[in-house]
Structure 1
Amino acid sequence: MNHIVLGYDGSDFAMQALDWALDEAELRKLPLTVFHAWQWPYGEADEEAKAHLRKAADHVLWHGADCARATSSGVQVETDLYEGSAAQRLVELSGGAALVVVGSRGLNALPRAVVGSVAGYVAAHAVCPVIIVRGPGPLPASANPGPVVVVDKEPDAAVLEFAFSEAAMHQVPVTASVDLADWSARHPGVQVQQGDAHERPTLIVVGRKRSARSGTASFLLQHAPCPVAVVTEGDS
């Protein structure tokens, strides 16, 4: 649990995720691993053809790592290039990570099953918390940052602990539909808000098991106006 893992593919969505992951790494004082996967999609191929694809993948990964190093304030940046499934490799990497960060294209016009296949799989199976970065505008910085919003009606302790920790790091309030008096006492530096959620929260936090049963996470991956954190209940 000693680093942040970023799934990076060179897209605009991945750049948003990189901004968020760097912020998390700086606030947590942890190194960042920039990850990219590639695989030959056309069946059998000679090694020369595959070598060209691998070289292109290596360039994508280099670009992500170079951007991270150029824009961070002292974060140690490492890389992981993998041949195979990006989703499965990210789940493997989550076993030793404090957090996995991935971008989501939010392809609302496509069938639900197609939307966010990598992000959805990682959110459902990762060992550690996962933040799926989506929504317009610069992330995570904002001139008027909203709260961290807990959407579970009966949130698990791990979900609340993650929400309060994120709120403390980003210096924003926490909003939930439950009484947070005990949690507020544990985190005196975090303001608690109740009532209607901010129109553009800084982060939405859901529990993995509860959201899977209700379909909340799937809905949020398509429609949330901000990044979404999926946390395994029972983890501290």
Structure 2
Amino acid sequence: MTPIVLGYDGSDFSVQALDWALDEAELRRLPLVVAHAWQWPYGDAADEDKAHLRKAAEHVLWHGAECARSTGAGVQVTTDLYEGPAARRLVELSADAALVVVGSRGLSELPRRVLGSVAGYVAANARCPVIVVRGPGPLPAPVNPGPVVIADDEPDDAVLGFAFGEAAMRQLTVAAADPGRIPARPGVEVRAAREGETATLLVVGRAGRPVDDTLVQHAPCPVAVVGG
């Protein structure tokens, strides 16, 4: 079975991503791969120094996997430890994944220019849908969850399929700025997006244009980037 891949770095931000990834794995009845990457940032180093850093990375990965196993309801959890850039590894794993889930720190402009955005890079280059989950800490469980919102004016089949699939699994409606242009699919209501409402998930297409890093970094809800 194709897995859900979670990018996990031990931060509070990746806790939200872990919650969402577990949700997806349970709803889709798929296994979960918890992935963590590490690299020595200071040039040449003694093997002993690198071993200490690798040991720390192994602990981070172990912690993420244990959190997933203790929280997930029957989800099979495996791990992937990689020496090198996290963004590159997540894109590699996306080739055989149903979905990649990553957290986003919502960096300000200067740090984003210096460090780049792992979430933005993965969203733009992955071979499968990517969900970017923003903010630290566990995801709150809303009493009245909002709709799955299609952000594209002219969504392609990949965006429509993903949005309606998520809405059906979560028993939510689909909302769009112009619902008349979106054919309804069985069992899922389509309606107009309402100003000021909080969406459960925003779905945007990747095909034919660059991914908007501002959207990925600053959207008020998780963002799914879908398509080729």
Paired residues in the alignment total: 228
- Residue 7 of structure 1 contacts residue 34 of structure 1 at CA under 8 Å; is this kept in 2? yes
Aligned-partner Cα distance in 1 for 2:137–2:38: 28
Superposed structure 1 runs of 4+ greater than 3 Å apart: 108-112, 135-138, 178-183
Indicate whether 1:230 and 2:225 are aligned: yes
The AA in structure 1 aligned to 2:19 is D
* SS of alignment partner, residue 209 of structure 1: coil
Q: Which residue of structure 1 aligns with residue 34 of structure 2?
A: 34
Moved more, 166-175 or 13-22: 166-175
Q: Which residue of structure 2 aligns with residue 11 of structure 1?
A: 11
Moved more, 140-149 or 162-171: 140-149
- Residue 116 of structure 1 contacts residue 221 of structure 1 at CA under 8 Å; is this kept in 2? no
> How far does residue 113 in structure 1 lie from its aligned partner after superposition?
2.8
> How far does residue 177 in structure 1 lie from its aligned partner after superposition?
2.5
Report the CA distance shift for 1:148/1:116 in structure 2 as closer, same or farther (over 3 A): farther
Indicate whether 1:178 and 2:178 are aligned: yes
- Residue 16 of structure 2 contacts residue 136 of structure 2 at CA under 8 Å; is this kept in 1? no
Give structure 1 stretches of 5+ with no counterpart: none
Q: Which residue of structure 2 aligns with residue 144 of structure 1?
A: 144
Give structure 2 stretches of 5+ with no counterpart: none
* SS of alignment partner, residue 159 of structure 1: helix
> How far does residue 138 in structure 1 lie from its aligned partner after superposition?
4.6
Report the CA distance shift for 1:67/1:116 in structure 2 as closer, same or farther (over 3 A): farther
- Residue 150 of structure 1 contacts residue 205 of structure 1 at CA under 8 Å; is this kept in 2? yes
- Residue 25 of structure 2 contacts residue 75 of structure 2 at CA under 8 Å; is this kept in 1? yes
Moved more, 112-121 or 28-37: 112-121
> How far does residue 143 in structure 1 lie from its aligned partner after superposition?
1.4
Match of 1:199 among 193, 197, 200: 197
Report the CA distance shift for 1:119/1:167 in structure 2 as closer, same or farther (over 3 A): same
> How far does residue 68 in structure 1 lie from its aligned partner after superposition?
0.2
5 Å matches for 1:1-80? 2-80=2-80
Identity rate of aligned residues, in percent?
69
Indicate whether 1:189 and 2:187 are aligned: yes
* SS of alignment partner, residue 75 of structure 1: coil
RMSD: 2.0
* SS of alignment partner, residue 149 of structure 2: strand
- Residue 16 of structure 2 contacts residue 135 of structure 2 at CA under 8 Å; is this kept in 1? no
